[in-house]
Structure formats: structure tokens, C-alpha cells
Amino acid sequence: MREYLLCLLAAAAVTYLLTPPVRSLAIRYGFMAEVRDRDVHDQPTPRLGGLAMMGGVLAGLLLASKLPMMRSVFEGTNTAVALLSGIAIIVALGVVDDKWGLDAPTKLAGQVLAAGVMAFQGIAIIWLPIGGTFVLDPVTSVLFTVLIVLISINAINFIDGLDGLAAGIVMVAAGAFFAYSYLLSVELGFERATLATLVSVLLVGVTLGFLPNNFFPARIFMGDTGSMMLGLLLAAGTITLSGQVDPSAVAGGALFPALLPVLLPVAVMAVPLVDLLLAVIRRTRAGRNPFAPDKQHLHHRLMEMGHSQVRAVVLMYAWTALIAGALCGGLLRRGVGHPRGRGAATGPGAAGDETADRQRPGWLRLPRRMRRGRRYRRPAVERP
């Protein structure tokens, strides 16, 4: 846990320190968000804040690669390279869009390219919890992965309409996802150092470091450079985690625990996903392009109801935290399950007692001295 905290602090510090020079760069080279009818801000504001966040992510990954405990994330696997490839493509696409403005088909093609490169290099969904474990063929795996990444990217991109809104929602979502993925690693006996957990903690770090300059009144926007990168990283964390988990290894084979690796990412991103779905339905019914901008997103409607910009943002933070917290609480109450193959003996006093104990949430486990069949004796008390 200390290593993750160190990576979080490094990502937050680098992002915070890079934001002012990136802001100056954006002003100098004309990366400005001009005031439009559908916008809430009332004066031109520099964007390109995603570059500062990218610097924070890279700093966190570099630090993690030097920590002894975290090296296993980068050894014997191509997923770190796949992640960096996707980040490079999506950030380049965002920079061009922030400067010149790309049409929807061109932007969508770039997003597909970034998602496809990641999928072909190893960050891909390889199974679905359908009738146990349904393994996808390579083509279906890549296509399904691209779809998930596209949904995540555009959900965060669509929600980025108020000062600090997208950054705060991603921070809450990534924090909940970090808690779940770390707990899953502990309970199922996985390696504690995983790419999914590392990505989620870096997301918390970069958004925490960016918010002081992005919260109302914002001095800089993250732009499409930042929103698309955040969406891609959320999707990458989800996909790499689901690739580790075998639903048949979850206690009891119950449907709800088996679906948790899929349900939790949907839950923590519920607010942006609902906003995305409503926007697509609304624009399609009106005969417009689903990606055509408008001023009817959830945050716009909250402001129409009389909420200030700050209050609308805080309300959407709260919705995200409530949904994510409710599902995480359900996970903790149920326990996660036990790793198969550990503690084959199940008789009294055998290792099965420890295995069964691992099915309980942390605060319900037996003390260590009462496991492994050790007889527990109450300390002797001298009587007068």
C-alpha cells in the first residue's frame, strides 16, 4: 500500500507543478476555449491541461518501475507498453482537436485506433461472465475491447462541461475502483502489484493534482486531451482487472459476485454513462448526429433548476460516490471468495479453516493465532 501511496503523491505533485507551464504554453500557442452559446464559462480559457496530467501519469509509471514491489507489473508482460501506446495516440489526437477542432468521424477514428492498438498489444477483454466463463475469440475480444474503450472515452468527454466536473468524477470513480481492485487482490491471493490497481491510483493522483487549477473558477481546462486520456485509462484499468479474475473462482458461483468485475466499473462511471446514453438518445430522436454538442446534459439541467456551478458539480460528485460506495459496501458485506486450490484439506483444524475464513470481510476474520488449527487458549488469570 505504501508503494501505491507514493505513486499517487508523485503523480499529483508532477501534475500540479506542470499545470502552470502548460497553461502558459496553451495561451502562447492559441489553445484557447472560446466562449460559445452552449458553454458555461464567460471568458476564453486555456485548455490542453491533459498534457500536465499525462506528465503525472508518466512520472507515476516511471516511479513504479523503480520500486521493488511494483516491478512485477512491468516484467514478463506487454501491457505497460500497450498502455503507453494508447496514451500516446489519444493525447496526440486530443492536442490536434484542442487546437484545430476535429469533426466527429475523424475523432472517432482516432479513438478506435488508440483502443485497437491497446487491444492488439494485450489489454483486451478475454472472457465474459456468461454461463460461467465464456472465452472470446481473438477478433471478438478486440472488437469488444474497442467498444468498451470508446464508451468510456466519450462518457468522460461528454461530462466535461463544468469546472472540475470530469476531473472530480474520475477521481471518485478511480478511488472506488482502486479500493475494489486492491481488495480483490488481497482476498483472492493475487499479486498485490497489478496494472489495474496502479492505473486507478495514478488516476486519483493526476486528477487530485489538476483540480486546484480546474475547480471553479477554472484557470485551465483539461480539453479533449485530458478527457479522452482519462476515459482511456479508466477503461484500461477495468479491462486489465477483468482479465485477472475467473468468475468460477468466486465463492459459491453466485451470479452477483461473478459479475462484480464487470458491474463495478459500470457503477463507478454510472453518472457519465447515463449522461452519454441520454445524449445519444436525445440527439438521435431529434435527427441529429449523436456527437453533435448541445446544452442539455445533466449538469446543464441542474443549473437550469437553479443550482450554482459549484453546487451542480458537488451534486454530481455525490451521486458518483453514492453509487460506487453502495456497490463497494455490498462487496465488503458479501466477501469476495477464496482462491481455488488453496487449502485442499477441509477438516477441523486443517488449512480449510483458514480458506473458509478468507471468505469473510476483513473485519470478520478470525485473529491469526486462531487459524491453521491452532488451539486458542484464554490467557490464565490469577485468582486471589
List, for residues 13-36, the tens digit of each pLDDT value. Answer: 999 999 999 999 999 999 999 887
Whether pLDDT at 167 is above 50: yes
How many domains does the chain contain in total?
1
Residue by residue, DSSP assigns 253-309 as G-HHHHHHHHHHHHHHTHHHHHHHHHHHHHHHHTTS-TT---S-SHHHHHHHTT--H
Q: Would 341 be classed as within a structural domain? A: no
Tell me, yes or no, whether 364 lies in a domain: no
Quick check: is 147 in a domain? yes
Collapse the DSSP code of 85 into the 3-class scheme (helix H, G, I; strand E, B; otherwise coil) and give the result.
helix
Cβ-based neighbours of 163, under 8 Å, separated by 6 or more = 40, 41, 214, 215, 216, 217, 218, 309, 313
* CA-CA-CA-CA dihedral for 310, 314, 320, 323, to nearest 10: -150
Q: Is 375 left (phi over 0), alpha (psi -120 to 50) or beta?
A: beta
> Which has the minimum average pLDDT: 129-133, 186-190, 374-378?
374-378
Question: Hey, which residues does 33 pair with through a beta bridge?
Answer: 45
Q: Please, which residues have CB within 8 angstroms of residue 62's CB and are 6 or more apart in sequence?
A: none
Give the number of other CB atoms < 10 A from CB of residue 341. 9
pLDDT exceeds 70 at position 164: yes
- pTM to 2 decimal places: 0.82
Instruction: Express as a percent the part of the chain with pLDDT over 70.
Output: 76
**Helices (H) and strands (E) in the chain — how many of each?**
13, 4
pLDDT score, position 329: 62
Segments forming the whole domain that contains residue 215: 2-334
Average pLDDT for the chain: 81
Q: Are 298 and 278 in contact (CB under 8 A)?
A: yes
Residue 365: C-alpha distances to residues 21, 127, 350 (Å): 50, 31, 16
Say if residue 74's pLDDT is above 60.
yes
Nearest to 236 by CA among 367, 29, 73, 19: 73
pLDDT reading at 367 higher than 60: no
pLDDT above 50: residue 372 = no
314 within a domain of the structure (yes/no): yes
Q: Is residue 382 part of a domain?
A: no
- Rg of the Cα atoms in the chain: 23
Establish if 95 belongs to a structural domain: yes
- The secondary structure of 112-169 as a DSSP string is HHHHHHHHHTT----EE-SSS-EEPPHHHHHHHHHHHHHHHHHHHHHH--STTHHHHH
* Confidence check: pLDDT of 86 > 90: yes
DSSP 6-67: HHHHHHHHHHHHHHHHHHHHHHHHT-EE---TT-S-SS-EE--THHHHHHHHHHHHHHHHHS
More confident residue, 238 or 99: 99
The span from the CA of 75 to the CA of 82, in Å, is 13
pLDDT value at residue 35: 83
Span 337-366, pLDDT tens digits: 444 333 333 333 333 334 434 443 343 333
pLDDT at 123: 92
**Residue 384 pLDDT greater than 50, yes or no:** no
Indicate whether 340 belongs to any domain. no
Residue in 237, 185, 201 with CA at minimum distance from that of residue 362: 185
Q: Do the domain assignments include residue 352?
A: no
299: pLDDT strictly greater than 50: yes
How confident is the model at residue 346, as a pLDDT? 33
CA angle 129, 134, 135 (to 5 degrees): 125
